[in-house]
Amino acid sequence: MKSLDETHDAGQKSWILSANVNSCDFPLQNLPFGVFRRHKSQESFRGGVAIGDEIVDLGAAVDTGLFSGDARIAAEAAATSTLNTFMSLGPAYRIALRQTLSALLRQGAARQEDMRACLVPQTEAEYALPATIGDFSDFYSSLHHATNVGALFRPDNPVLPNFKWLPVGYHGRSSSIFVSGKTFRRPSGQLKSPDTPAPEYRPSRRLDYEAELGIFVGRGNATGQPVDMDSAEEHVFGVSILNDWSARDIQAWEYQPLGPFLAKSFTTTVSPWIVTLEALAPFRSPWTRDPTDPQPLPHLLGSDTRERGAIDIHVEVLLQTARMRSDDIAPIKLSVSRFIDSYWTISQLITHQSSNGCNLCPGDLLGTGTLSGPERDSLACLLELSRGGQTPIALPNGEIRTFLEDGDTVIMRAYCERDGQVRIGFGQCVGTVLPAD
C-alpha cells in the first residue's frame, strides 16, 4: 500500500516557479524519472527528474553532495544511462530519494543555489528509453475494448469466456520499442481480402494506434517464485504512456491461431518519463467488479486491491495530419479514456504474469492494452472510433480518417486530477507515420 506523506502535500510549492503552474505536468508532487542528455550533444545519457520545465541532473546533484544515506545510493544508481539498477533497489530507496528531492526543491529549501546549478531546461534535452527493456508483454485489460473489437469480428461471441477470469496477454518484442518523438515507416505485410484467392505483400492500409499505459517492473522475482497480490506493487517502479501501434489488415490475416505478430512488432512508442506509484497514491480508490461477473480467483484478489487497486489516470489521444501542420492547425482531440475503467488492475497483471513462476526483471515492460471506456469519446483506437473503417472521422479542416495516413502524428497525453490534490501529468508520447519504403 502506498501511503501519503509530506511529498503529497498539495500546499507545498517549489522554488522552481514553472512547477507551480496549475496546468504543469511536473509539479513538486510528481518527480518522475527519465533518461536524457542535452540535445545533439556528445554527452552521455543519464538519469534525471522532471520538475516544472526543468530536469534535475541526478549525476550533477550527486557530485554536489546533495544526497546522503539511502537517497544517495538511489541517486547514484539513477544517474547512469539506464534506470534498471535504480529500479532493482525497490520502493524504500525510491521513496528515500523522492523525499530528499522534495525537500531540496520546495520553497524555502536551504541549498537552492546548489540545486539550481544541477538543472537542465527541458527545451534543451533529448531523451532515451528510460530503461533497457528485456521483455515486453501486452495485455488486453479493457472489457469495453474487448467487447467493441470482438463485436466487429465475432458478433455472436464478442468476449471470449477466459477474459473475465484472467488478464489475457501475449509476449511482444523489446527490440522495436522506442522513446517518444521517433518517426517510423508504414509497415508492410501479407494482406488477404475475402474476395481474393491468395494474399499479397504490400504496405498496410489500416494502420492504427492503441492508447495504453506502460508498467515498468522494479524489483524482480526469482524464477519459480510467483509474486502474490499483497506484494505485487513492491515489484512495480512506475507508469508511462504507451502507444502500441497496430496494422489491422496485417493482423486480420495472421492472427489465427496464435495472435498478432508482424501487425504489432514494427514499433511501440513510450513516453520518456516514468511516474512512480508514490506520485499516483492520491488518485487511488477502491476496485470493484460487477457482481454479476465472475469474481477473481483468490490468487488474483487481495485486500489492498479491494481498498485501493483502482487508479484514476486519464489518457488523451490527439491527431495532427501533415496538412494540419502545414496550415498551422493545432492537433484535434480524438478521445479521453480512464484507467479506472479497466477490468484488471496493475497488481493483477503483475501477479498473473508471474503466477506460473515466470521471473520478472527490472526494466521489463507490461502494456495494459487499449484503454477504451464506455462512451464513444473514450474509444482509444481508430478501429473502434471508425467501426472498422465503416464510419469515417471528420477532421476540422475537411480531411477524413478511418485509419492513419502518411504524415499523421499521434500525440498521447496522460494526467491525474482530483479535488484537493495537485494535478500529476505524464508528459507526451508522440509518433509520426512515414511512407513505406
SS3 at position 119: strand
- Using CA atoms, how far apart are residues 206 and 402, in angstroms rounded to an integer? 8
145 is catalytic: yes
Under 8 Å CB-to-CB from 416, ≥6 apart: which residues? 280, 282, 283, 311, 312, 313, 314, 423, 424
The amino acid sitting at 365 is L
Task: Inform me whether the pLDDT recorded for 1 exceeds 60.
Answer: no
What's residue 147's pLDDT? 96
- The secondary structure of 146-214 as a DSSP string is HHHHHHHH-TT--S-GGGGTS--EEE--STTEEETT-EEEPPEEEE--TTSSS-EEEE-SSEE--EEEE
- Using CA atoms, how far apart are residues 44 and 129, in angstroms rounded to an integer? 13
What pLDDT, in 10s, does the model give residues 289-347? 999 999 999 999 999 999 999 999 999 999 999 999 999 999 999 999 999 999 999 99
User: 300 near 351, Cβ under 8 Å?
Assistant: yes
Q: Determine what percent of the chain is predicted with pLDDT higher than 90.
A: 96
User: 7 near 29, Cβ under 8 Å?
Assistant: yes
What's residue 333's pLDDT? 98
DSSP state of 14: B
- Using CA atoms, how far apart are residues 331 and 432, in angstroms rounded to an integer? 13
SS3 at position 359: coil
What's residue 2's pLDDT? 59
SS3 at position 34: strand
What's residue 271's pLDDT? 98
What's residue 154's pLDDT? 87
User: Cell digits for 193?
Assistant: 481480402
Most confident of 154-158, 218-222, 259-263: 218-222
Mean pLDDT score, 52-60: 98
Q: Which residue stretches of 355-425 are H helix?
A: 382-385
- Using CA atoms, how far apart are residues 360 and 248, in angstroms rounded to an integer? 30
The alpha carbon of 328 is separated from its chain's Cα centroid by a whole number of angstroms, namely 28
The amino acid sitting at 19 is A
Confidence bin at 3 (pLDDT 50/70/90): confident
SS3 at position 264: helix
**Which uninterrupted H or E stretch holds 393?**
strand 393-394
- Where b means 16+ CB within 10 Å and e means fewer, 236-251 reads bbbbbbbbbbbbbbbb
- Using CA atoms, how far apart are residues 286 and 274, in angstroms rounded to an integer? 23
What pLDDT, in 10s, does the model give residues 380-389? 999 999 999 9
User: Cell digits for 1?
Assistant: 500500500
Q: Which of 145, 235, 314, 352 is catalytic?
A: 145
3-state secondary structure 198-222: CCEEEECCCEECCEEEEEEECCCCC
User: 320 near 330, Cβ under 8 Å?
Assistant: yes
Count CB atoms within 10 A of the CB of residue 295: 12
Mean pLDDT score, 125-137: 98
- Using CA atoms, how far apart are residues 295 and 125, in angstroms rounded to an integer? 47
CA-closest candidate to residue 30, choices 11, 14, 15, 8: 8
**Which uninterrupted H or E stretch holds 310?**
strand 310-311
What pLDDT, in 10s, does the model give residues 75-104? 999 999 999 999 999 999 999 999 999 999
- Averaged pLDDT of the chain: 97
Query: What pTM, to 2 d.p., does this model score?
Result: 0.97
Q: 213 pairs with which residues across the strands?
A: 241
The alpha carbon of 333 is separated from its chain's Cα centroid by a whole number of angstroms, namely 18
